[in-house]
Amino acid sequence: SWAGTPQSDWSLAWSFAGGESIAFLWNGASSQVGADVQVSAADWNAVLYDGTVVSLGFLATSPGTPAVPDAFTVNGVTCTFAP
């Protein structure tokens, strides 16, 4: 959950390590350049208030065994996650 001052128009970013590519994502809008993925807020979840939880998911393609990303940022700040 988000802890801190309200954030509007958040974005979540990470890099894939195994050549994965986003095929479909829900609860946000994704863009991907190479291994780098950025997810922007949807209209209905654009503001993060203290204690807000945003759930999103995606389907991806992979040329082999998918690798779990090991770092995520929200608005450029490193965050913890549960894969």
- At 5-57, the pLDDT tens digits run 787 889 999 999 889 999 999 999 999 999 999 999 999 888 888 888 888 99
- The answer to whether residue 1 scores a pLDDT higher than 70 is no
First to last CA, the chain: 14
Average pLDDT over every residue of 70-80: 86
- The answer to whether residue 83 scores a pLDDT higher than 70 is no
Which tokens belong to 23? 């095929």
Average pLDDT over every residue of 59-80: 88
Q: What is the pTM of this model?
A: 0.84
